[in-house]
Chain A
Amino acid sequence: MTNATFTSRLAGPTTLRIAAPIVLALLGLSVSGNAYMVHIASAGLIAYILTVSFNLIYGYAGIFNMALVMTYGLGAFTSVFLEVKFGFNFWIALLAAVAVTTILAVLVALPTRRLSEVFLAIQTLAFALALAEVVVNWKDFSGGTIGIFLIPPPDFFGVLLIGGLPAYYWLIAVFAWLVFELMLRIQRSAMRRKFTALREGPRILSAVGISSSSTRLVAFAISGALAGLAGVLFAHFQLVMDLDTFSFTRLIALLLAVILGGAGYFWGPLFGVVALVVMDEVSLATSSAQDLVYGIGILVLVILTRGGIAGAFSDQWARIKGRIGLVEPVVTASDTPAGLATAAASVIERVERMVLTERTGTVRQLALTDISVKFGGNTAVDHASVQVSTGEVVGLIGPNGAGKTTLLNTVTGDVPTSSGSIELDLIELIGRRQPEIVRRGIGRTFQSPKYIPDLSVVENVMLGGDGRAKASAIGQAVYSPQARRDDKRIQSRAMELLADFNIAGRAEHPAGAQPYGVLRMIEIARNLMLEPSFLLLDEPGAGLTEFERDEVAAIVRLLSEREIGVLLVDHNLPLITAACDRIYVLQTGKVIAHGVPAKVFAQDEVISAYLGVPK
């Protein structure tokens, strides 16, 4: 990244950071004379916190958690229950309630681990309605169907903050500011990259050694905590509440606020809440017509727009920036993948720098012994054995359906084996989870390059380093100094790699808009971020031009010189012959030949398997 873009990135948040409390203070001052306006401003800020919570889990992480509205309700009831029943003071009750909702959110997350989007929605909806039923039956806690009336106001050093009055507005404003600040930090941190990857390509997460289930838990926990906070604030604002406040209708309003504002956008919740407040004020969405307005709203939004209000603004902004030439893509001749060929001479010195780790001189061994894989009654891989050492390039060839990719998939744990063993330096890998396999030094690419369209090119590469970041999940979420250092290191490394691949000019562009050759490079660069001992490349030459393929062959050779062991699946014989030290030929899951390329290709069986010439 050039210095200019780097500073502009830093400058943006700093301005926002200063502006946020000022705006909140101005809002407070301007409404303070008018009780009605104070009420609306307070309610709006609470709605903002709740909407942020749903935006985080659904918009960012792509998890349609319908239980969130009950999480919000539970926060409200828990805090009041602790105060009234056990005499807790407001602040302790607040902390306790947030802790309870965080734990609850994690509990929702656990059984829904493997569910697809829609099934998760059903499961969480069932949870929400079941929990509502239990809570309404627990009359001490919820006041049953009647609700709770005497909610004590918080006490701040002797000042009573009574819900609906200006003093309480300031309390809410402080929390809203903190939430805004938190979101600002998440927006800049590795956490957002991880959430986006969770939403758009969970397989990439595990391929870079990040556990998608713990990323998921973090998303649930943060959004649960925020929903709980909103609930506590809401209870002490309303002073009266019953379970109907947290009903299905409330859930729909929340949903509408998120998609109307723009799911997944930083500004989405703000726009959504303002829009809903305005709709309420012009009494579009009150009493009997509410269902109608919400129904039409959802239909129109889902069918006609993508990204709601924030999405429309961001599209418009991109268009304006494009017009005034702010982001003229820096694409030079050598920047296009085809242009890479012209730079082929310098590729050697560039790849020299690619692998940062100190070379130890020790040779690591990856040995697949007697591997079989069955899909139902089909045997895809049949007692195949393959060995790779660091520093050599081993090719895996064979006709379509021979089991090459399946064999590759067994190493990373993507496909379960039915027999055999996979050992890395005599340590069994079968049964280990993918992130651990990656951390032990095995990286991989996919047959069709996998990338996160919504992240920029450099962010896609940075994901590879995020699995090895030192900061904890909490540290990443609040963008702690450690997380900043991680980010800086990972980013400069990613930029180096992009420069090495001659695509640095595209670093800030969305990956979704890149051509195929660049996507391939992104994927390889992301894997080099892992500093692997072994790299499994699944058809890296597919879909590339001849020049690009030569480039890939050169890169692969140089990787091996830098003590990386490469297992290469490809169909392209020139690429295989140019790049590989040894090759294995697979046919119907069996290894039928193995050795140096020239000798193997001379064998009759191989010719017959590949070209169909009778033996």
Chain B
Amino acid sequence: MVVFVIAVLSVSAVLVPLVASVSLVYRVGGVVNFGAGYVAVFAAAACASWTSASSSLVGALMTLIAGAVVGAVTYYVAIRPAQKRGVSPIGLTLASLGVGLILNFVTRSIFGGAPTVVQPWISGTIEIFGYRTATQRILVIILAVLLLLVLWFVLDRTLVGRSLTAVSHDNELAAIYGIHGERFQLLAWVVAGICLAVGGMFQASLASVSVEVAPTLLLFSLVGSVIGGLGSLFSAVGGAVVAGAAATAMDTFIGPGLQLTGLFIVLTIVLTFRPNGLFTFRGTAERV
């Protein structure tokens, strides 16, 4: 049981930053970021390479900066021009996929694209309720919780967060009250890029990451946030935990190599019975 719980928590810990990122840009700009998996893979490879070149801390910091840059570039190169031309939601999604593909090329050309691991930030093992596991795993879980708290504080408790919410609800109205919508969309993409970088580093510090896993990571982050509900940070994070549990349960109880099948089954059930997400509790009736 302990094994299972820790496994679920560690899968979820990787997913938390990813779904936070996906749900953030969805809320602010209505874009489902199909490039998410590629950014995470890029970050994993970058962090591995830069860590071995310098130190863990420097490698991680540089990766975070790179994530922020990728976010900003995505917004300026793909999202904003497309929005200006009134491209449909599916078009915006495709544009984000386009950026992802270009980034994947960058990952391959600079870092080779072979499976890489990030050196654990903390070595050794730790025993919890008689189960021994890598200390790094526990560290990642704790860091994920911390990240969540920071995001919650910034997005929910500060003026910046409020403005972001305003932009996400009604860009034009926010503009009337003097909020620069574009600036906040940019901010959302930068934060989202950092989150994806964090997710990629987490994953690579626990298991190896190669360019082939980008679609899988993408799917996990999309499905996680959809299961929970794209409407808020916490519902999406809840979805990440459910997605993590579904995949781990498939692995533990059914057999290896069927994680995505588990994910698909949960997604289908949720979309059938609660299309707005498991953790979306707003009772809004839609007028025709």
Contacts and interface: CB of A to CB of B under 8 A. Distances in A.
B161 interface: no
B219 A126 contact: yes
Contacts of A294: 98, 101
A122 B101 contact: no
A302 B82 contact: yes
Given A295-B105, A302-B91, A118 B32 contact: yes
Given A291-B102, A302-B94, A126 B272 contact: no
A295 B226 contact: no
B94 A292 contact: no
A259 B94 contact: yes
A125 B222 contact: yes
Interface in A253-296: 255, 259, 288-289, 291-292, 294-296
Given A111-B268, A125-B219, A136-B257, A299 B284 contact: no
A121 B93 contact: yes
A137 B283 contact: no
A118 B272 CA distance: 16
A299 B263 contact: no
A111 B271 contact: yes
B102 A302 contact: no
A414 B288 CA distance: 7
A133 B254 CA distance: 14
B258 A302 contact: no
Contact of B95 (A298, A409, A415): A298
A347 interface: no
Given A291-B105, A296-B102, A123 B268 contact: yes
A252 B93 contact: no
Contacts of B102: 291-292, 295-296, 299
B267 interface: yes
A121 B283 CA distance: 25
Main SS class of interface, B: helix
A64 B275 CA distance: 18
B216 interface: yes
A136 B259 CA distance: 13
B180 interface: no
Nearest to A134: B261
B99 interface: yes
Nearest to B100: A295
B285 A292 contact: no
A376 interface: yes
Nearest to B35: A295
Contact of B260 (A117, A123, A133, A299): A133
A409 B288 contact: yes
B94 A375 contact: no
Contacts of A132: 260
A299 B94 CA distance: 8
Nearest to B113: A288
A85 interface: no
B264 A295 contact: no
A593 B287 CA distance: 26
Given A119-B271, A415-B288, A303 B32 contact: no
Contacts of A298: 94-95, 97-98, 101
B145 interface: no
A359 interface: no
Contact of B32 (A122, A127, A291): A122
Interface string A80-116: 0000000000000000000000000000000110111
B25 interface: no
A303 B82 contact: yes
B259 A133 contact: yes
A547 interface: no
B275 A115 contact: yes
Given A129-B215, A376-B283, A303 B223 contact: no
Nearest to A125: B219
A116 B30 CA distance: 13
B264 A130 contact: yes
Give the one of B95, B260, B284 with max A CB within 10 A: B260
B94 A255 contact: yes
Interface in A59-87: 64
B109 interface: yes
The bracket for how many chain B residues form the interface is: 35 or more
A132 B257 CA distance: 11
B258 A133 contact: yes
A292 B101 contact: yes
Interface in B95-122: 95, 97-105, 108-109
Nearest to B92: A302
A299 B264 contact: no
A112 B226 CA distance: 14
A170 interface: no
Contacts of B97: 252, 295, 298
Contact of A299 (B98, B216, B257, B258): B98
B98 A123 contact: no
Contact of A126 (B81, B93, B260): B260
A126 B263 contact: yes
Contacts of B103: 295
A501 to B, nearest CB: 27
B90 to A, nearest CB: 5
Contact of B98 (A130, A288, A295): A295
Contacts of B88: 117
B271 A118 contact: no
Contacts of B95: 298-299, 302-303
Contacts of B6: none
A610 interface: no
A248 interface: yes
Nearest to B109: A288
A123 B101 contact: no
Contact of B85 (A114, A127, A252, A303): A303
A117 B88 CA distance: 10
Nearest to B223: A126
B77 interface: yes
Contacts of B94: 255, 259, 298, 302
B144 to A, nearest CB: 23
A116 B230 CA distance: 13
Given A295-B99, A414-B288, A133 B257 contact: yes
A299 B259 CA distance: 31
A406 B89 CA distance: 29
**Which 8 residue pairs spanning A and B have beta carbons closest together?**
A295-B101, A130-B264, A295-B102, A298-B98, A299-B98, A292-B105, A291-B105, A248-B215
18 contacts: A115-B275, A118-B89, A121-B32, A123-B271, A125-B219, A127-B264, A133-B259, A133-B260, A134-B258, A259-B94, A294-B98, A295-B103, A298-B97, A298-B101, A299-B99, A302-B91, A303-B78, A303-B85
Interface of A: 64, 111-112, 114-119, 121-123, 125-127, 129-130, 132-134, 136-137, 247-248, 252, 255, 259, 288-289, 291-292, 294-299, 302-304, 375-376, 406, 409, 414-415
Given A126-B267, A289-B105, 19 more contacts: A111-B268, A116-B89, A118-B89, A118-B93, A119-B226, A119-B275, A125-B219, A126-B219, A129-B216, A130-B260, A292-B101, A294-B98, A295-B98, A295-B104, A298-B94, A303-B85, A375-B285, A414-B288, A415-B288
